[in-house]
A and B are shown apart, each in its own frame.
Chain A
């Protein structure tokens, strides 16, 4: 299958008045359409920076990001740690916020967004305000808001870390199912190894700063399993131990 996204020898230097920091050095990986890829790594290694680069919120110092999507005008959808819903807009207005920019408020797009809202159980809440919804529901609204712009690629920046443990498990299933049934490609940045294994078919382990790809694990579960069910599989724990070990061992310079 063709690559949807390819990062080639990415290098990024952060500048501050007192110093410069080599945040990413010679980072390369590629992502195929339909992939669900997780990026794990020691904290502060630049995971979020990679997403910012892919979303072109930032330019790499050198290297290439090749975006092989059919429609190049559609930017990747970005989901943040917090839902960032606007408290002064109701749910429908939050969902359709992106449509009002760049003249995208076509009949077709509005119908698509409405369909998403109905399909994923938010129809009765369209006129409600974010403060009336639970944390899990709010994160679902945030996902639908991202999806309504029809991105081929979703960038998930620790979207579950602000939720309590029980909600997190439920929302992981929820987000996973929505992404799979909408046939989207996703990159998930997380510090939670079990979350990475439960959700993705590929886990990229990064080294500490400067970030490089240390190892890539292919995760092979029965595609009909939900993230929650995957956690109960026999090969879940060995995978966890493997990735844990990879994260622990010191880099060889």
Chain B
């Protein structure tokens, strides 16, 4: 252990105190919000039929856990999200690689990419249902459509920003195109790939929930739409809560992955 001066110890204590108060404030904020919501609903300041309340959400979750529906719907959404996430990330990256390796194709397709990127993908919903039908397939396709264009554009930007000098270096030490790809382009753009994963975790969930709004017989998106239609706001709130948890966990997994690679590099 290094021995610190008194000043440094004071500095460290101050720093710790600041971090601690930040954490404390976060937790307090949550407690206050939940408590206020609960109290307002209980003493009829707001109508719990419209706003639901934390205790009603917990009760609703309890019912859904005991009849197994919670697990079933969560699994359906999770499964669709993972499929959309995996397929769009893989396909988007491959398309970006292809565009990167063939400049002429890239030049030709550039305006199309820009148009596709600004198109609100939800507008394609009816087309998807007509062409692919209803159900899981359509939902996953919706999720893929949301993610794939932004994946392609982000990865292409990453590939294009590799330093010219490094590419020249590979040429001067005799690397061919494939070797340059494997030894330079892919490892150099790993940080870009990780940030694409982070974006896609959120985006694929958006796509899948949108897909479930369009057409579904199960899933958290289905529960939210159904709950809204029959005015079971407890069900809507409980589903949103589970959705939050799921998004958090998926983001956390990607963050872990990022941490792993960052550690490996330094």
Contacts and interface: CB of A to CB of B under 8 A. Distances in A.
B266 A78 contact: no
B174 A75 contact: yes
A220 to B, nearest CB: 32
Contacts, number: 51
B172 interface: yes
B172 A57 contact: yes
B173 interface: yes
A16 B176 CA distance: 27
Most chain A CB within a 10 A radius of its CB, from B166, B172, B174? B172
A77 to B, nearest CB: 7
A87 B165 contact: no
A131 B266 contact: yes
Contact of B173 (A82, A87, A88, A98): A98
Task: Give the contact-size bracket for chain A.
Answer: 20 to 34
Contacts of B187: 86, 88
A113 to B, nearest CB: 12
Given A88-B190, A97-B183, A101-B179, A57 B173 contact: no
B8 interface: no
A149 B190 contact: no
B173 A97 contact: yes
A129 interface: yes
Interface in B10-66: none
A185 B71 CA distance: 72
A84 B163 contact: yes
A178 interface: no
Contacts of A131: 266
A82 B172 contact: no
Q: What's the interface size class on B, roughly?
A: 10 to 19
Interface in A120-145: 129, 131, 145
Given A80-B165, A82-B165, A84-B166, A98 B174 contact: yes
Contacts of A76: 172
A81 B168 CA distance: 12
A101 B172 contact: no
Interface string B177-206: 001000110011010000000000000000
Nearest to A155: B172
A59 to B, nearest CB: 14
Given A86-B184, A101-B179, A75 B172 contact: yes
Given A57-B168, A78-B168, A84-B165, A129 B266 contact: yes
A76 B172 CA distance: 8
Interface in B88-111: none
A101 B176 contact: yes
Q: From A75, A97, A129, A145, name the one whose CB has the most chain B CB atoms within 10 angstroms.
A: A97
A106 B211 CA distance: 56
Contacts of A55: 172
Contacts of B163: 84
A107 interface: no
Interface string A88-126: 100000000110111010000000000000000000000
B171 A88 contact: no
A207 B252 CA distance: 60
Contacts of A87: 265
Contacts of A97: 173, 183
Contacts of A101: 173-176, 179
Nearest to B176: A101
Interface in A37-64: 55, 57
A82 to B, nearest CB: 6
B265 to A, nearest CB: 6
B184 A81 contact: no
B169 interface: yes
B182 to A, nearest CB: 10
Nearest to A76: B172
29 contacts: A57-B171, A57-B172, A75-B172, A77-B172, A78-B169, A80-B168, A84-B163, A84-B165, A84-B169, A86-B166, A86-B184, A86-B187, A86-B188, A88-B187, A88-B265, A97-B173, A97-B183, A98-B173, A98-B174, A101-B173, A101-B176, A101-B179, A102-B174, A104-B174, A129-B266, A131-B266, A145-B173, A146-B173, A149-B174
Interface of A: 55, 57, 75-78, 80-82, 84, 86-88, 97-98, 100-102, 104, 129, 131, 145-146, 149
Interface of B: 163, 165-166, 168-169, 171-176, 179, 183-184, 187-188, 190, 265-266
Given A86-B183, A131-B266, 10 more contacts: A55-B172, A57-B168, A57-B172, A75-B172, A80-B165, A86-B187, A97-B183, A98-B173, A101-B175, A101-B179
Sort A-B residue pairs by CB-CB distance and give the 5 closest, nearest first. Answer: A98-B173, A78-B172, A101-B174, A102-B174, A101-B175
